[in-house]
């Protein structure tokens, strides 16, 4: 049975790998959490031509590099895989700089959004489904997670073989994820990508 999105204005099916239980997308999750409603064209502009023309509002979200809330999420792109938001090209370039940054980003983001312990293999499947990048093995998840565990963002619950489980346990407000990744990795993460450094 296909579960439908809980946003009353949406009837999309929920992908089993959605990061937002009961919602098809971050957009719909925020739409409900923020108590938003559809923009009514007639009310907003008072013109009869716009009767029946209603649209989903844009939702401001923080840039994943600089943290400024001047990015917008729209309903139409809100459930695309790999959806990530940056202010502009410059922030996007900075944000993704460094080897395997996307993998780091998605592993952390998934844990942070799901707010529950996730087994390494399941985590790898999530990354694949959300971002289309292959993390491969539980061992690779482990090696990426090491630095974040050391700094207290993630906790590892050791299981046998591939059952090692990870959970986002940091209670403060972290830097935007791409910036956090840079802080944790320093410039080491930029090896192999030096051509991008100004
Ligand atoms: Zn939805
Ligand atoms: Zn930015």
Q: How far is the CA of 20 from the centre of ligand 1 (A)?
A: 10
CATH number of the structural domain 97-192: 1.10.10.10
Q: Which regions of the chain carry the CATH code 1.10.10.10?
A: 97-192
Which ligand lies nearest the alpha carbon of 61? 2
Q: What is the pLDDT of residue 92?
A: 92
Q: How far is the CA of 191 from the centre of ligand 1 (A)?
A: 39
Q: How far is the CA of 98 from the centre of ligand 1 (A)?
A: 33
Q: What is the pLDDT of residue 66?
A: 95
Q: How far is the CA of 74 from the centre of ligand 1 (A)?
A: 11
Q: Please state, in angstroms and as integers, the Cα–Cα distance from residue 164 to each residue in 66, 107, 142, 151, 172, following that order.
A: 33, 14, 8, 18, 24
Q: How far is the CA of 31 from the centre of ligand 1 (A)?
A: 9
Stated as kind and residue range, the H or E segment containing 157 is strand 154-157
All residues at 6 or more sequence positions from 89 whose CB lies less than 8 Å from its CB, including other chains: none
Q: How far is the CA of 92 from the centre of ligand 2 (A)?
A: 7
H helical segments located in 46-100: 89-96
pLDDT digit string (tens) for the chain, length 198 residues: 678 999 999 989 998 888 998 999 999 999 999 999 998 766 666 666 666 677 899 898 899 999 998 888 888 876 665 567 898 999 999 999 998 999 999 999 999 999 999 999 999 999 988 888 888 788 899 999 999 999 999 999 987 767 899 999 999 888 999 999 999 988 655 544 443 333
Q: How far is the CA of 9 from the centre of ligand 1 (A)?
A: 8
Please give the Cα distance from 193 to 16 (Å, whole number): 34
Q: What is the pLDDT of residue 179?
A: 95
Q: What is the pLDDT of residue 144?
A: 94
Closest CA to 168 of 130, 105, 117, 92: 117
């Amino acid at each position: 049975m296909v579960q439908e999105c809980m946003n009353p204005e949406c009837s999309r099916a929920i992908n089993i790998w959605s990061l937002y239980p009961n919602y098809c997308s971050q957009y719909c999750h925020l739409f409900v959490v923020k108590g938003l409603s559809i923009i009514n064209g007639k009310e907003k502009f008072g013109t009869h031509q716009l009767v029946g023309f209603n649209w989903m509002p844009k939702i401001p979200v923080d840039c994943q590099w600089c943290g400024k809330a001047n990015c917008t999420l729209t309903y139409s792109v809100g459930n695309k895989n790999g959806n990530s938001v940056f202010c502009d090209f410059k922030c996007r370039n900075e944000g993704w700089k460094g080897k395997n940054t996307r993998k780091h980003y998605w592993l952390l983001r998934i844990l942070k959004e799901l707010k529950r312990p996730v087994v390494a293999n399941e985590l790898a499947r999530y990354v694949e489904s959300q971002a289309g990048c292959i993390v491969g093995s539980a061992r690779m998840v482990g090696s990426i997670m090491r630095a974040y565990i050391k700094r207290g963002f993630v906790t590892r619950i050791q299981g046998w073989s591939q059952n090692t489980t990870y959970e986002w346990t940091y209670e403060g407000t972290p830097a935007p994820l791409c910036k956090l990744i840079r802080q944790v990795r320093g410039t080491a993460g930029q090896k192999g990508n030096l051509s991008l450094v100004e």
